[in-house]
Amino acid sequence: MEKYKDILRYLNIGMSQNEISKILKTSRNTVRKVKIATEAIGLEWTEVSKMTISELESTLFPEVQNSNDELQTKPDCEMMLKKLQRKGVTRKLLWEEYADEVKSAGKIPLQYSQFCNYFNSYLKINKAMMHFEHKVAERIEVDWCGAVVPMIDSLTDETSKADVFVATLPYSQYSYCEVMSDMKKENWITAHVHMLELFGGSTSIIYPDNLKTGVIRLQKKKLF
Helices (H), the chain: 3-12, 17-24, 28-41, 45-48, 53-60, 66-69, 77-83, 91-104, 112-126, 129-133, 185-199
Q: Which residue has the higher pLDDT, 208 or 125?
A: 208
Using CA atoms, how far residue 144 sits from 134, 152, 188, 209, in Å, is 21, 20, 9, 9
**Phi/psi at 87 (5° precision):** -65, 135
For residue range 139-175, list pLDDT tens digits in order.
898 988 867 888 888 888 888 889 999 998 887 778 9
Task: Kindly state the average pLDDT of the residues 5-18.
Answer: 90
Q: Which residues in 122-141 are b (16+ Cβ under 10 Å) and which e?
A: bbeeeeeeeebeebebebbb
Task: Kindly state the average pLDDT of the residues 199-217.
Answer: 79
Task: Kindly state the average pLDDT of the residues 201-209.
Answer: 87
Across all residues in the chain, what is the average pLDDT? 80
What is the radius of gyration, based on Cα positions, of the chain?
22
Residue 110 has what DSSP assignment?
Answer: P
- pLDDT given for residue 131 in this prediction: 47
Does residue 16 contact residue 24 with C-beta atoms inside 8 Å? no
- pLDDT given for residue 190 in this prediction: 95
Q: Could you write out the DSSP letters of every residue in 185-212?
A: HHHHHHHHHHHHHHHTS--SEEEE-S-T
Residue 92 has what DSSP assignment?
Answer: H
